[in-house]
Amino acid sequence: MKLKLVAAVLMTALVAVSCGNCSQKSDKPVYLDENQPLEARVEDALSRMTIEEKVKILHAQSKFSSAGVPRLGIPELWTTDGPHGIRPEVLWDEWNQAGWTNDSCIAFPALTCLAATWNEEMSALYGKSIGEEARFREKDVLLGPGVNIYRTPLNGRNFEYMGEDPYLASVMVVPYVREVQKNGVAVCVKHYALNNQEALRHEYDAVVDDRTLNEIYLPAFKAAVQEGGAWSIMGSYNLYKGQHVCHNQYLLNDKLKGEWGFDGAVISDWGGCHDTDEAITNGLDLEFGTWTDGLTKGSTNGYDSYHLAYSYLERLRDGRASVDVLNEKARRVLRLIFRTAMRTDKPFGSLCSPEHYAAARSIGDEGIVLLKNENDVLPVKADARKILVVGENAVKMMTVGGGSSSLKVQREVSPLDGIKAAAPEGVQVIYERGYVGDVSGAYNGVVTGQDLSENRSADRLIKDACAQAADADMVIFVGGLNKSRHQDCENSDRLGLELPYNQDAVIEALAAVNPNLAVVIVSGNAVAMPWVDKVNAVVEAWYGGSEAGNALADVLFGKVNPSGKLPFTFPARLEDNGAHALKAYDPKSTVANYSEGIFVGYRWAQKHGIKPLFAFGHGLSYTDFTYSEASSNSSSMSGNGTLTVKTKVTNSGKLAGKEVVQLYISDDESSVERPVMELKGFRKIALEPGETKEVTFTITPDMLKYYDASTSSWTLEKGTFTACIGSSSEDIRTKVSFEVR
């Protein structure tokens, strides 16, 4: 357990002992006085610490904690995995569970679902809620959120991130960061940077040009730091410019700490530190998980064998390492401690509260995306008397597994249970398995307790499902991916775009016997849909967490009008994705060439005139929205001025609903190659039937710039630009052009 502040005060109230390179102090320590400026407190504490104590706080002391300074009453730091919930307690040196009975949590929807809300208020609610859960569990650092860009639909960890567009991810990450940290809990934004695949994640060297790096892969991290005020950043496993990113001169020292002015601590991913000298000089502040059981080196204390431990201390003692560099690392870690563990005004937090369940459900409600709805198959008709639910994902727990985001939840509502609870009285809800996927249900000692064993053959499962579907008023197939290896899972990538476990055959068979079929995809990634023209409705439900089933049922039965929009492109074929079209993704290579450059996701599709299966920003509603012709307050803007663009949106349907109005900008006269259009703004608005609202976007010069690698600066060129406003990247409703002078 961490030291309590009361004990800390008692230990230091009299005199700070002088030793090593500490100066004699007889006054009350400034660092204990929270009325003093933060930097004064940090410098006072630093001046009282020995070299040994400074080194001690720079590395782990257990699987998820690092040491404080007991002599000075400075408490240890406790971290916890996220970013979708608070990980259960593990043993001191192991990943396995500690066996606590009071460490269950609420699982919030995966970050792909949060991004799909396109709603900053939902991001703030998410951050507030998960921050309160972390605070209640006395955690100081939440290891999340993740904002790596969706470069390939095969990345096993895409479900933890916020999509393919840097602007969307930048806007959505900031409220999450701010609200978590209001609880006195630091975020640790991850995985900085270029961790866009899980295959050979410790070995591949990302080769990416400077323009692509700055325009696509860094903006969300920059926003988290400069706008969100993130207190810590996690270095990624991969290499860049031949150096592992957990100790990378350019990304950590030059970019993050230098150019962006980051004043927090850089924390290594668990096992991401590989070299003592690079760890010392190249920006790493706090080392975790280098030998993941803590004792591999055979020392009395394996953590003293970390790169930022005895090896560092030896270099300091014999003059090979700079004390100034040590002080800067210790200063950053102390700053992190004072912002979190040493704060006395933190709220108490709360765990598994009704408010948090409501938040999880609200985020799920707004994130679910209605991809297709021909013949108004959805919502489920009020006169439906028999509903057939098919698919393993209708019953399988999804909060267990997938890597470090695996959770131990208080409860998880399955899609089947959510549908049963929402169905009107007298409606018969029947379940058929349809296919067999992963029957296991355990991760790091957390066990689902589900018995998913099945004796029927694949053919028999399909026949049984079709027999029930023949006379059903509604068929709901719930499939997609799961958290198993080579699906949506840390440390492995998918092997293809297709659905696993013979699901395509199940869907085709159901469509042949009943037109009232809705296919629900549970995933954090795009999937191929060879049957899409044969089914009337398709829903992307994501990993919805504890309230997954209730949120899905809200949308299926029309309690909630869907308003989610895709945060990444669903390609019709894998080779329609830029990284795969150029064979730039190779899971067996230790070199990852980002040869598609800035043309990621919809940028690639639009450049080459490729029609996606479902476009970035796409999402349907049970009502309709019409847009008026856009107008601007001027036909031109100067290089230091602004311009406003307006449109009116009307709910022309019969139901209340929400629309995400999206602003894309095209540079029509650029001297360099630019995307056809780029997302530069969005607004989510709620409209009653017949209601009209005006939506205004302010265009600033920064929104029009590109990164000029030759000058290492952002450049604005004069010429014609077009503001494109619509319901998705493929559904532009109105445009207005303007000149930049």
For tokens 């899609």, the residue is: 415
- 142 CB-side CA count, 13 A: 34
Q: Residue 462: what are its φ and ψ, rounded to 5°?
A: -65, -45
Say if strands 517-522 and 474-480 run parallel, antiparallel, or are unpaired.
parallel
Determine which helix (DSSP H) or strand (DSSP E) holds 583, and give its type and residue range.
none
CB proximity list for 35: less than 8 A, separation 6 or greater:
none
The reply to whether 451 belongs to the active site is no
The answer to whether 342 touches 30, Cβ cutoff 8 Å, is no
CA nearest neighbour of 306 among 140, 90, 66: 66
Determine which helix (DSSP H) or strand (DSSP E) holds 650, and give its type and residue range.
strand 643-651
Based on its alpha-carbon atoms, the radius of gyration of the chain, rounded to whole angstroms, reads: 26
DSSP-derived 3-state class of residue 616: coil
CB proximity list for 163: less than 8 A, separation 6 or greater:
112, 115, 116, 149, 150, 169, 566, 567, 568, 616
Give me the catalytic one of 44, 205, 269, 667.
Answer: 269
The answer to whether 370 touches 621, Cβ cutoff 8 Å, is yes
Q: Residue 669: what are its φ and ψ, rounded to 5°?
A: -135, 40
For tokens 């507030």, the residue is: 128
CB proximity list for 39: less than 8 A, separation 6 or greater:
none
CA nearest neighbour of 232 among 277, 276, 192: 192
Residues 674 and 607: their CA atoms lie apart, in Å, by 9
The answer to whether 339 touches 231, Cβ cutoff 8 Å, is yes
CA nearest neighbour of 224 among 184, 192, 195, 267: 192
CB proximity list for 14: less than 8 A, separation 6 or greater:
none
Separation in Å, CA 509 to CA 285, 432, 466, 708, 730: 56, 13, 7, 53, 31
Residues 518 and 419: their CA atoms lie apart, in Å, by 13
Q: Whole-angstrom distance between the N-terminal and C-terminal Cα of the chain? A: 62
CA nearest neighbour of 615 among 248, 163, 19: 163
Taking phi over 0 as left and psi of -120 to 50 as alpha, with beta for the rest, 280 belongs to alpha
The residue type at 489: C
Q: Residue 59: what are its φ and ψ, rounded to 5°?
A: -145, 165
The answer to whether 553 touches 518, Cβ cutoff 8 Å, is no
Strand partners, 664: 679, 724
Residues 65 and 80: their CA atoms lie apart, in Å, by 9
Residues 341 and 232: their CA atoms lie apart, in Å, by 14
The answer to whether 18 touches 82, Cβ cutoff 8 Å, is no
The packing angle between helices 38-48 and 323-339, to 10°, is: 130
- Residues marked as catalytic: 269
